[in-house]
A and B are shown apart, each in its own frame.
Chain A
Amino acid sequence: MVDATEPPAVDVVPATPITLRRDATPGWEPDLPASLLLRRLLADRTAVIGLVILTVLVAAAVLAPWVAPHDPAAQDVLNKHAGPSGSHLLGTDQLGRDELSRLLWGARASLLTSMLLGTAVLVIGSAVGTLAGFVGGLVDAIAMRIVDVMLAFPNFLLVLVVVGSLGPGLFNLSVAFLLAGWVGYARVVRGLVLSARERPHVETARALGFRPARVVLRHVLPTVLGPVTVLWTVRSGQLLLALAALSFLGLGAQPPTAEWGSMLNSARDSLAVNPALMIYPGLLITVAALGFNLLGDGLRDILDPASR
């Protein structure tokens, strides 16, 4: 060897084909400025499609009271299973209610609920994880034992058991999700906090005697933000599917409420007569979940290109 400085290691030819990625920066880059992240996000086709899908659906959910052509609960028994028409763009359901209005209102119960729940679960889980990771010791040990025990069991079954014991209903279901959902975040966030603590500037801040809360807010949180955003996106999509599944089983939203999963359930009896009642909400659930998955995938690519 001739020079002490590291020569470019190009002699080693990659055995796999070299991909022409838009972005080939290796590893996490926790300190990327938000504007750069946004620019990369908008350059990622996958993420943009996911973002557009979610934006449209969220807008529909928020604006449902104003844009829905009919009252979603207004029955018209004489006009059951009507096909698409001028006044009912997607026809009517088994009780003569306007399908389009119910789908729009359903976006609130399905999509907005799962996003809210996803956020609540994130806050609880991150708080526990940060505390465990930062305080350490007995707090950490106890929290992680609980997490271990809960993770031994699929979340879905846990939710099923909790809601089964409490009784059906959207509220009880939400309680069940909160009880079951925080564990996943807690473990991930704890791991991130532990590795963030090792970073030089965090160690410096601690050594300088800054208050722990300040160190967490100023130095640890930013490094945790990226991975947690990815996690939120993916988990919200999973929550949406689980919520719809449990409502479909009759354990979530109850009949008069318009919710995609329970709409699918109510459409079961008229499967042969009017399969469209089943296909509309089913498609919406699929598209919404697709939106979350695409966005999550794109975000992961942007934040951690090595993962692909």
Chain B
Amino acid sequence: MNERIKKLRQQSLDAVPTLSHERAQLLTDFYKSGEAQKHSIPVARALSFKYILENKTLCVNEGELFVGEKGPEPKATPTYPELCIHSEQDIDILHNRSKVWFRSSEETRDVILKEVAPFWKGKSIREKILEEVDEQWLDSYKAGVFTEFMEQRAPGHTVGDDKIFRKGMLDFKKEIQESIAKLDFYNDTEAFAKREELRAMEISADALITFAKRYSILLYELAKKEKDKRRKNELETLAGICERVPANAPRTFWEALQYYWFVHLGVTTELNTWDSFNPGRLDQHLQPFYKRDVESGLLTEDQARQLLQSFWVKFNNQPAPPKVGVTAQESNTYTDFCLINVGGVTEKGEDATNDMSYMILDVIEEMRLLQPSSMVQVSKKNPDRLLKRALKIIKTGYGQPSIFNTDAIIQELTRQGKSIIDARCGGASGCVEAGAFGKESYILTGYFNIPKILEITLNNGVDPRTQKKIGIDTGNSEKFNSFDELYDAFEKQLNHFIDIKIKGNLIIERIYAEYMPAPFLSILVDDCIEKGKDYNAGGARYNSSYIQGVGLGTITDSLSSIKFHVFDKKNFSMKEMIELLKNNFDDNKEARDKFLFETPKYGNDDDYADDITQRVFESYFKAVDGRPNTKGGHFRIDLLPTTCHVYFGSVLGATPDGRFAKEPVSEGISPVQGADVHGPTSVIKSASKIDHLRTGGTLLNQKFTPNFLETDDGIEKILQLIRTYFRLDGHHMQFNVVDAEVLKKAQKHPEKYRDLIVRVAGYSDYFVDLGEDLQNEIIRRTEHTGY
């Protein structure tokens, strides 16, 4: 990392996250002007987008090689009042909270509270959603049965493909005009709506060109004034680049990256789309430019590296949009889930790794920034070298990159009906979500609290926390005579709540389709232009809606505990079990210990438990998969929690697996913390018993201490672990290389860390099994090896 990059990196780290009122104010000014009311909704949206890009503050940071920020300066974070309005209380919470805060100036407060909020009140999408969904939905939502993604962020969940690297905005405009010309007003009853949408796309394409041109003019001015000759040159080059892209297709490495960045700003200025947006298979997109530029002598390897590093900083300058309401209090990350993909296979299905794959991994390691996130796609065709390189970054304890199984992703996508080529050119985005990049709208609609369904079942439809009957009558659970009877009741309640969630989703999808089109994003996703349809209204080639199941470990262990202790061994009656749960096990340590330690549990390659996992998976799959959404696509499932397992735990009473009330539920498809005691191969075996190929993504966490990965042999053994998991069709794995702090916690609460493996002295063992003296020794050692 050279001095310039060090400086840029530091500037980004030091930048203070603030709330920016600029976008909200410009948007409000536009809608107040009366201009919006003259046009259809898509065109008005496009014109507001144009207005913002024509008027927003330009920002050129000292020494940077790419221009453009979402706000007027790094980490100045815009709000989206057309979706959700920040109240005075929200602004205060964001300003004052001790973690993940957003400072706001007096001016920002004034503008948002006096100009913006009064105008949008009653018009925001969030208000519309809460008006349109029914009471059942609201009750379930409040009880914590599910969450709703679109209540303050727009549907996004899509990733760019290679098209912007081949075509300029002018090319897209041409396509749009051709599509308009082809409209059949004699037979197509939607022709007018399509024309409005296509006109909106055209305006949006122009808007981005204008935005870049404004930068070009500013950069030429700055170049004139610049004393330093080298910088002067750079500014001139950059001005030329902004003149050329995004209007035209990029010709060079530098142009390609600046082009992407304008597109990124376009998508995230238009709406606060979920999972931000990202360039997807960046190594694939950049390699041709890199090769060409190096061959022609335009670019050296070092320069390319520097450009990438500077590009990385741009991502880190954009914190995730600040939330409102309860979420403002709970949401605790600046990460906006841009997941850069490296590796995988080509369109032809061959190993896709190239120079760029390794250079990007170098950059990830060196930059060590929160954003962008990164992942490595590993197919059986990719060399071990790729995986080893990734593991060498992972071992520094930075949690990146995560590892994905390309072969599984391709099968998941083709099962859903995508062409094999589109599947190969796809990957994973957000946390772990499989998608056909540039061709699919794959919307995560909300997390679903599976263990909560059991709680409601055990209480015959009543949520014990809110004391409301939100479920259906499935009978007094004390009278169940067999596990199957209980399971049937559970399945009925599950279907009931999935119905409620899907009904809500279908309404919300249409709210976005009608009121909140995204014409700019639509340019970037096939086949919106061809169909003349918006991304939010089914314009994409593929349209999937997901409901993300949470708590697979907790639900398995809870059902297993009831099956084992109540029906098989008859250690407890159902009545006793329910009493224990109601009273949070009271002081009955003996009973709780039985549930904790003497129950077959998920994560141990024990079929007693894993059969239940499979059964729950099948029920969940059946309840959701294949049901139609409003965009011509289908509902699908995936199993990932982000941090929702904490919230879902907080609204859940004690569970039969020995979990205390309010404690988090298990995350992803990982076992309950500490429930897996037979090592990582058993976890992998258990996890691979669910059918990953019928999901759109699963998340598995594994913990290792840094010293386990210290030697090449250790890395090899982890590589083999991953390869085996992928051979068993596992979707994703991430490694938590734990530091001394975690080990100290493990010492205090060994019951939660029973699965933690440490390398001791030429051999490995469970940390909690070691004598205290040795634990202390390893903690000390880990402090040295930790980053």
**Chain A complexes with chain B:** no
Please list the residues of chain B having a beta carbon within 8 angstroms of any beta carbon in chain A.
none
